[in-house]
Homo-oligomer: A and B are copies of this chain.
C-alpha cells in the first residue's frame, strides 16, 4: 500500500528519483567485546527499511547498508548486510558516489578495544578490563566528504530529552543538510513500534509532522528528498 500511496499521490507512475543513487543505512550495529558478548544499539531497522523502499518506489537506485535486523529486503533495493560500525562505514564508502545519503542506522558510538578472539575473563577487581574506542562517525564523514560528498545528506537523531535543541545542534556539528529528529523516550513507544513522530530540521527551520506510521513517514521523507533534488 506504500507503493500505491505514492502512485496515487502522483496520479501516475511518475518516478521523480529515476537516475538517482541513494545510500540508506538502517538498523543497529553490534560491536563485539569477545566471542560471546557485544554492545548493541536498540533499533529494529523498520524506519530505515521503509525509507529505502519508499525511495526505490520513487525510482531511485537504492543501496541499503543494514546492520543485524530480522527484516525482509524492500522490493527493488540492493541490500548489503554488516554487523559493526567499521563494516558499515566500509560498505557506505564502497557505495559512493551517491546523490543522497540517508543515515537512519543507530550506529554504536564506541567499540570495545580488546582481543575479540578469546572470552573475556574477570580481572582481579571482579570487573572486566573493558576499554572503549570511539567508532567512526559515518554521518559526519559523509557530510564532510572531500571527494564524494552527496548532494543531500540526511541524518537521524534519536533523543530522549530536549529533542529539537539536541537535534539542531547535531545538524550543525555533523554538517548534514537535514536532521530527522524523534523522541525515543520509553513513553513514546516509538522504538520497536510502527509509528513515529518526527521533526524535520534544515536550514529553513523546523517542520514538525504529526504522529504517522513509519511507512507514511518514509513516503513523506522520500517525497521531500525528491523535492529537494528537483530544485
Instruction: Give chain B residues whose Cβ lies under 8 Å from the Cβ of A30.
Output: 40
Report if A134 contacts B (CB, 8 A): yes
Q: Mark A154-195, 1 if CB is under 8 A from B, else 0.
A: 000011110000000000000000000000111000010000
Chain A contact residues (Cβ within 8 angstroms of B): what range?
Answer: 35 or more
Instruction: Give chain B residues whose Cβ lies under 8 Å from the Cβ of A42.
Output: 35-38
Q: Are A128 and B132 in contact (CB under 8 A)?
A: yes
Nearest chain B CB to A25 CB, angstrom units:
15
Whole-angstrom distance between the alpha carbons of A117 and B186 in the complex?
A: 8
CB-based nearest B residue for A133:
B127
**Which of B36, B127, B159, B184 contacts A134, CB < 8 Å?**
B127
Whole-angstrom distance between the alpha carbons of A123 and B81 in the complex?
A: 31
Report if A205 contacts B (CB, 8 A): no
Report if A130 contacts B (CB, 8 A): yes
Whole-angstrom distance between the alpha carbons of A30 and B41 in the complex?
A: 11
Report if A5 contacts B (CB, 8 A): no
Report if A39 contacts B (CB, 8 A): yes
Instruction: Give chain B residues whose Cβ lies under 8 Å from the Cβ of A134.
Output: 126-127
* Across the A-B interface, the 8 shortest Cβ-Cβ residue pairs: A119-B160, A36-B42, A118-B160, A40-B40, A35-B160, A127-B132, A37-B41, A36-B41
